[in-house]
Structure 1
Amino acid sequence: HATADRQEHTVSDEEVDALEARLGYPQHDPHGDPIPSSSGALAELEGTALTEWPLGRPARIVHLEDEPAETLRQIVAAGLAPGKQIQVQRIGRQELVLWD
């Protein structure tokens, strides 16, 4: 994130357009956050927190929390990503057990 934050202020509009085309005009970043359009419009992220999702009911991940960085590393290490189908099996005080 730090690198992207620095670079976004140093590239031209043409470079941004070229990168966007190379990436296939993504609507969301790798964590599921909406990417603003060239006019600055930002789609609303819709979803329900897994801690509020009914147990055993299929769900599709639409967003990964990316802060703090250690939390994101643990989430990714567990094989979770936007688009992945899961089921919430158990919710504890400090854990969330999923099944895919």
Structure 2
Amino acid sequence: MQTMTLQNYSGASLLNARQLNLSMTLMLGEQARPKQIAKQQFMQLLNVLEALAMSSQVLFDGSIQQDDKQQLKDHNHLYHSFLDETNLVVTDQ
């Protein structure tokens, strides 16, 4: 019988900004709280919670709409300031 070894993950994770915003909206109850959560919403929420628990920081695409980006920045304190936006790198080539 093989044994499984657990390894610590201390790197960053990249998540979809829409997923982060929808999960935070769901957790904060900013919209009317649903009586049932769809399986997709539940899995997105678990994915966000896992990334927050297991990563040193969570990155999101910095080229998103300004309103979506502002919502993430406004809620960043709730994520213990783990969220950072990625930046596009432009080279001469």
Shorter-chain TM-score bucket reads under 0.3
Structure 1-normalised TM-score?
A: 0.24
Structure 2-normalised TM-score?
A: 0.25
